[in-house]
Structure 1
Amino acid sequence: MLDDTDRRILRHYQHAPHLGPAELADLAGVTPATCARRLDRMQATGVIRANRAVIDWRALGYEVEVSLRITLDKTQVRAFDEFMEAARNVSEVIEIQTFLGRVDLRLSVIARDMAHYQDLYRRAILTLPHIADIEALMHVARIKSDEVLPV
């Protein structure tokens, strides 16, 4: 598990992953070698999963986001697998979540405008396999979107 030094490094790292080990080490109060070794270990053990660019899709002209709550026809043995495989191929689907309960999946879909969404919905979403029920929720505002953890 993580000790206090690991947590201190992670606290700074998640706010500024672009910093090099020397700068991060200085903030965390450890030597650069210790910092680099611990970062490598946390990456190898899966504590740190990735470094990535977060792109504002609105800046690219996507103004509409819709959450689709989907219930599948579970009488089909491969319904989940076939649905998810097909949904992954829709480039405007930016997130797929599965659930236990009445709703099986949630898709987060982006579109340039309502006309684009309507076309996408008819052409790519409604043609996905094994849909028994679908409910659309139009996003109005994102109040909090944060991947920073309390470490």
Structure 2
Amino acid sequence: MLDDADRRILRQFQAAPDLAAADLAARAGVTPSTLTRRLDRMRAAGVLRAVRGQVNWAALGYEVEVSLRVTLDKTQPRAFDEFMAAAREVPEVIEIQTFLGVVDARLSVIARDLAHYQQLYRDRILTLPHIADIEALMHVALLKSDEALPL
């Protein structure tokens, strides 16, 4: 589906998505019109989903990030749907992942400090429906965060 020029474009785009089209085209070794045409084609094919801003939560005062591994009460037929709907309503839950296995979901929660996290945990997280078990993992350091593919 992708040829060498597409892969060069994607490599450069992943490395510097905020570059001007002319600069990106030069780095990828294509003309600006070729770049635009190929990016449009990759967007239409679903290869490129979006260009997004990445927010540094710590710079906005959110110093604590906790990963919560949640096991749901599977005896309830709507447990999964009701839990997910309620978890989406908590603004400090910035990511929800689902799994097959013992752990059903992982929530990534941000808080300003430990006191704020404790309040969130008691008032918003523990009140989510159908939780059978929950395990908290405090983030200490982010060692790698990369969505780029090795193209």
2: CA distance, partners of 1:27 / 1:141: 33
Q: Which residue of 1 aligns with 2:32?
A: 32
Q: Which residue of 2 aligns with 1:124?
A: 124
Matched residue count: 151
**Which residue identity is paired with 1:25?**
A
2: CA distance, partners of 1:126 / 1:138: 17
**Which residue identity is paired with 2:33?**
A
2: CA distance, partners of 1:26 / 1:105: 43
2: CA distance, partners of 1:79 / 1:104: 11
The answer to whether residue 17 in structure 2 is matched with residue 2 in structure 1 is: no
Q: Which residue of 1 aligns with 2:49?
A: 49
RMSD between superposed Cα atoms in Å: 0.8
* Structure 2 residues not aligned, in runs of 5+: none
Summarize deviations over 1:46-76 as a string: whole Å, max 9, x none: 1111101101000000111111100001111
Q: Which residue of 2 aligns with 1:90?
A: 90
Q: Which residue of 2 aligns with 1:77?
A: 77
TM-score (norm 2): 0.97
2: CA distance, partners of 1:38 / 1:142: 34
Q: Which residue of 1 aligns with 2:17?
A: 17
* Structure 1 residues not aligned, in runs of 5+: none
Q: Which residue of 1 aligns with 2:59?
A: 59
Q: CA deviation at 1:21?
A: 2.3
TM-score (norm 1): 0.97
SS of the aligned residue for 2:96 comes to strand
SS of the aligned residue for 1:91 comes to coil
**Which residue identity is paired with 1:6?**
D
Runs of 4+ in 1 over 4 A off after TM superposition: none
2: CA distance, partners of 1:20 / 1:46: 22
